Structure 1
Amino acid sequence: MNSTKGKKVILGLVGTILGLVWLAPFYMMIANSLKTKKEIFQSPLRPSEGFNVENYAQAAENLNFGQTFVNSLLITVVSVVIIIIFSSMAAYALSRVKSKVSTVIFFVFVAAMLIPFQAVMIPLVSFFGKLGMLNRPGIVFLYLGFGSSLSIFLYHGTINTLPKSLDEAAIIDGCNRFQVFWYIIFPILKPITVTVAILNTIWIWNDYLLPSLVINQPGMETIPLKMFFFFGEYTKQWHLALAGLTIAIIPVIIFYFVAQKHIIKGITAGSVK
């Protein structure tokens, strides 16, 4: 019994230490974003003596945060919705139609997760440039392609756990295949859908490389792309740079904490066969 309590205490201490290490960068970012430039260089680890909220106001103005936020939100929401719709339908078809062709297609999607974007970015961007798709619709299409592999993999595992009797009962009642999926199967996939939405939202919202290649025109920048130029301009004014960084990560952190309870549930459901 004492041994068990000792292990729990040790695990608790280790977890606390790891938690503090994980939170340390966030503390430094937020604390220093509220300081003046002089205070940061005097003591970057000390808590702020005051709250210089004007840092945030100036950073938001210099970031053109309103327009940049709308750009990121539009691209992220449209991309995630399209990924969810197409990936779930593809996974349903691959799961329910058992054949050598469907098996090969599924493993092609799984294998695509192993190909890094850097390996294909130059010919891909060149090809999309020739098609005139270096714009918002083009980047949404690219996100669909790169985000489908993991999403289909997660959906496929979950759909395999659903009995085919659900489909058969709906078909007997007069539903076609699309109605079976949309009204019977898709609502059951809510936990894994939330997981897919969270994973893709965090990825797309924080992505810098693809927007820098596709939509780097003035006025169309996403938050990570705008932050790159912002840091280049304000690297010596760390109070403004850190305030801008804090503003940039707040939306995705809020979204993550609101929906985090579905992540483990969705991934666990997708791993059981």
Structure 2
Amino acid sequence: MENSRMKRVGLPILSSLLAILFLSPLYIVFTNSFKTQKGIFLNVMSLPFGKYFSPGNYAEAFTQLDFIRSFFNSLLITVSSTIIIIIFASMAAWMMVRTKSKLSSFLFFLFASAMLIPFQSVMLPLIRLMGKLKLLNPFGLIFMYLGFGSSLSIILYHGFIKNIPKELEEAATLDGCNKFQVFWHIIFPLLKPITVTVSILNAMWIWNDFLLPQLVINKHEWHTIPLKMFFFFGQFSKKWHLALAGLVIAMIPIIIFYFFAQKHIVKGVTDGSIK
């Protein structure tokens, strides 16, 4: 009886404390985005009132970010990379599941092992190679995202496809479908839950990525939002009020995308983990 009472009282308290802990960075970012630089330095945790209240931060950050152009750069790279990853990863995982051979098992193990390789260990050789191939541009960046995003995507698709009955493909083949038609008309529509999960995971990672675009993109007109954010932090001054306002602006599109698709995340990950 005592244990059940402690659970009823303790769990809500613990949940509330964890919620406060995880939401506190968002509170700090949002409240300080409405303050002047001096207001931030005086008290980070206070609400933006009085002479330190500065709603104009958003308009100035929007202008300095060249938000329209950088937004479409980020959108183009994120959407293109995510779609290409979905196409290649889903087809590769399907063939690995349906092809029973040592080569198929080896390739799956190879993709899984690639997740253990830190990006920093291949960063400089990769950039040197892409430079020789004249691919230090958004197209080369999308190609590299395909390579780095395929491993996790293939693993998720691989586990999900194992639950799809092979009889569906055999019936479609008897009806005259070739492999291409079997995949796109029979298999791919059934992959919707895991496809949404893969798209969310990759879109959030690519949208927020800073290091790889910084290494690859060398023209200002190609800069994404994370790269533009870097210009708020100069050698001699840091414009925290504008950086935080820009950060809120940059988060809005991906938050909207996440809320529209969040119901598929748990289902997709759970189904994809079942063997």
TM range (shorter): over 0.9
**One of 163, 174, 177 as aligned partner of 1:175:** 177
* CA RMSD after TM alignment: 1.5
**Residue in 1 aligned with 2:149?**
147
1:37 is matched with which residue? 37
Structure-1 separation of matches of 2:140 and 2:49: 47
* Matched residue, 1:6: 6
Deviations 1:139-186 (A, max 9, x none): 100000110010000000000111101111111111111111111111
Once residues 104 and 37 of structure 2 are traced to their aligned partners in structure 1, the CA distance between those partners, rounded to angstroms, is 59
Distance 2:5 2:140 in 1: 57
Structure 2 partner of 1:104: 106
Q: 1:31 to 1:102 in 2, by over 3 A?
A: same
* Aligned amino acid, residue 32 of structure 1: N
Looking at structure 2, the residues matched to 242 and 63 of structure 1 have their Cα atoms a distance apart, in angstroms, of 12
**What letter is aligned with 1:45?**
M
Over 3 Å counting, the alpha-carbon distance change for 1:263 and 1:217 in structure 2 is same
Whole-angstrom distance in 1 between the partners of 2:67 and 2:169: 47
Deviation at 1:2, TM superposition (A): 5.1
Q: What are the within-5 Å matches in structure 2 for residues 75-154 of structure 1? A: 75-154=77-156
Deviation at 1:53, TM superposition (A): 2.7
Aligned mates of 1:203, 1:170 — CA distance in 2 = 36
Amino acid at match of 2:186: I
Which amino acid in 1 is paired with 2:109?
F
Please give the TM-score of this superposition, normalised by the length of structure 1.
Answer: 0.95
Matches within 5 A, 1:39-58: 39-49=39-49, 52-58=54-60
Aligned-partner residue type, residue 242 of structure 1: L
Alignment match, 2:19: 19
**Is the 2:137–2:217 Cα contact (8 Å) retained in structure 1?**
yes
Name structure 1 gaps, 5 residues minimum: none
1:232 is aligned to 2:234? yes
Q: Is the 8 A contact 1:63 1:230 kept in 2?
A: no
Q: Deviations along 1:87-144, whole A, 9 cap, x unmatched? A: 0000001101111111111111111111111111111110110010001110100000
Q: Residues 5 and 258 (structure 1 numbering): CA distance in 2 closer, same or farther, change over 3 Å?
A: farther
Matched with 1:71 is 73
State the one-letter code of the partner of 1:111. Answer: S
Distance 1:135 1:98, change over 3 A: same
Cα contact 2:232–2:242 (8 A) shared by 1? no
Letter in 1 for 2:54: N
Indicate if the aligned counterparts of 2:35 and 2:55 stay in contact, CA closer than 8 A: no
% same residue: 60
Deviation of 1:229 (Å): 2.0
Q: Paired residue for 1:265?
A: 267
TM-score by length of 2: 0.95
| Structure 2 unaligned spans of 5+ | none
The aligned length equals: 273
1:120 counterpart SS class: helix
Deviations 1:171-212 (A, max 9, x none): 111111111111111111101000000000011011111101
Partner Cα separation in structure 1 for residue 167 and residue 260 of structure 2: 34
Q: Which secondary structure does the structure 2 equivalent of 1:162 belong to?
A: coil
Secondary structure class of the residue paired with 1:232:
coil
